[in-house]
Chain A
Amino acid sequence: MFKKDLTPGAKSKVKSSVQRAIRTKVVETYPKLAPYIDEIIPKKSQLDLVKLPDRVSLYIHDSTPLFWQHMDDPLIPHLKLVHAFPQAFPRLRIDRGAIRFVLSGATLMAPGLTSKGGRLPDKEDECKEGDVVAIEAEGKEEICMVGQLKMGTEQMKGKGKGVVMDGGHYLGDGLWKMNFD
């Protein structure tokens, strides 16, 4: 989604009622973030909204990007936020061979996850289609990509091929390189 470098649009302040709505939405979508929500979006703070191309809006607090949203899709955390709270998001792992493709913006395909270096969650905490997950990489500590799944994890295990995620936010893409000062 952010393969090209972005030019940010107008920056505007978020209404406090909307900000409250965002807070509840975040807690709802990412229950594990709830303990940290005051740290991410302090109650009395002022969020900013930056419009990006392709109807993406990005929420910023104090020049740290927090979440981005494409139209009315779920809020997706910026990678800097994921790096700060990696345990708050469901994680899948890709094998080493897939990293370089992911970092150059390819769509994520199932074999990268089902192979030996990859890892999918067990059946009890499977992720469904449309869930927002963080992608970590074999042999690395940090997350390299976030986005919405196109295929449930159980289905991946069964099928073993096809598109898993496209239009995600990955390390080194336009959104990552953006400067908000």
Chain B
Amino acid sequence: MSGETATDNVPGVSSESQARNVIYCGVCTLPPEYCEFGGTVKKCEEWLEKYHPDMHEKLYSDDALNANLSALSVDAQKRAQKDAAKKEAKAALNEQRESERKAAAKVLIKRVERNKRKYVTVVSGLEEHGLDLKKIAKELGKKFATGSSVTKTASGGEEITVQGDVSDDVYDWLTERYEDIPEDNIDCIEDKKKKGAG
């Protein structure tokens, strides 16, 4: 596995005028041969076995693994292994933290009084659940036929402001549409404080 594979294959596959279609790993998004450097090797291997068994055979056969190892000196191998283990642990930790954070992240729906009988509804915390605020703002605007925009908060974050008092409707819409947000995590608050001098 020294020179030949890399140099022979690349020009051979792609001499036609069409672009090559490269398979990317569904787990770590790298080309599968680079999965071993991604930190989620096990998951990547499972994924590849499921969706591209032929490629899996090629990449994860004993021969290929051995060839990979023999290219490095023992010392370098050890270091690489240690590094890989560290990376893997880090990836796992990150994932865990992410899911924990998601479970704890609250979505707040606030009704803010603007002008005696006029209200705006402020939805914050959606970005923690990996949603695109801009798109949701647009959808909310469409749904309630009101103005709806992404506004910056004083603390540096962003939130969605919908004109009109639609807090209950937003609550229903969110719980129905995004089922992966736990319902307990969505809170409705009424904010009595006047914003500015109307």
Contact = CB atoms under 8 A, between A and B. Distances in A.
Interface of A: 35-36, 39, 80, 83-87, 91, 93, 95-97, 99-100, 103-104, 117, 119, 136-142, 144, 171-172, 176-177
Nearest to A140: B33
Contacts, number: 85
Interface of B: 1-3, 5-6, 9-11, 14-15, 17-22, 28-31, 33-34, 37-38, 67-68, 71-72, 76, 80, 83-84
Contact of A96 (B20, B28, B72): B72
B19 A136 contact: no
A172 B19 contact: no
Contacts of B22: 80, 83-84, 142
B72 A172 contact: no
A100 B80 contact: yes
Contacts of A99: 34, 37
B72 A140 contact: no
Interface SS of chain B: helix, strand, loop or mixed?
Answer: loop
A84 B19 contact: yes
26 contacts: A35-B17, A85-B19, A87-B10, A87-B14, A96-B71, A97-B80, A100-B37, A100-B80, A100-B83, A103-B34, A103-B38, A117-B2, A119-B3, A136-B6, A136-B10, A139-B1, A139-B5, A139-B67, A139-B71, A142-B31, A142-B33, A142-B34, A171-B31, A172-B30, A172-B34, A172-B37
